[in-house]
Copies of this chain bind each other. A is one copy, B any other.
Amino acid sequence: MAGDPRFQPVDAAVVPRFADVATFLRTKRHEVHSDVDIGLVGVPFDLGVNYRTGARQGPAGVREASRLIRKVHPTLGTRPFDTCNVADLGDAPVNPLDKVASIDLIQKFFEELRENAITPISIGGDHTIPTPILRGLVKDGPVGILQIDSHPDTLPELCGDTLNHATFMRLGLDEGWIDPKRVVQLGLRGSRFGDDIQYGLDQGFTVITIDDYEELGRAETIKRIHGALGDQPFYLTLDIDGVDPAYCPGTAVPEIGGLIPRDLQVIIRSLAGKPIIGADISEIAPCFDPTGITCVTAANLMFEMLCAIAEGRR
In the complex, A176 has a CB within 8 A of chain B: no
Cα distance, A43 to B59, chains bound together (Å)? 24
With CB as the reference atom, state the residue of chain B lying closest to A70: B191
In the complex, A83 has a CB within 8 A of chain B: no
Q: Which residues A209-245 have CB closer than 8 A to chain B?
A: 209-211, 214, 244-245
- Closest-CB distance, A32 to chain B (whole angstroms): 13
With CB as the reference atom, state the residue of chain B lying closest to A164: B97
- Closest-CB distance, A14 to chain B (whole angstroms): 7
In the complex, A154 has a CB within 8 A of chain B: no
In the complex, A140 has a CB within 8 A of chain B: no
A70 touches B256 (CB 8 A): no
In the complex, A34 has a CB within 8 A of chain B: no
In the complex, A96 has a CB within 8 A of chain B: yes
- Closest-CB distance, A201 to chain B (whole angstroms): 14
The oligomer's copy count stands at 6
In the complex, A174 has a CB within 8 A of chain B: no
A296 touches B44 (CB 8 A): no
A15 touches B191 (CB 8 A): no
Residues of B contacting A18 with CB < 8 Å?
44, 51-52, 56-57, 60, 96
With CB as the reference atom, state the residue of chain B lying closest to A56: B18
Residues of B contacting A291 with CB < 8 Å?
245, 249-250, 288-291
19 contacts between A and B (CB under 8 A): A14-B93, A15-B91, A16-B159, A19-B44, A21-B90, A52-B56, A52-B287, A54-B54, A70-B193, A72-B191, A74-B209, A95-B159, A97-B159, A97-B164, A210-B262, A245-B291, A246-B246, A257-B300, A287-B287
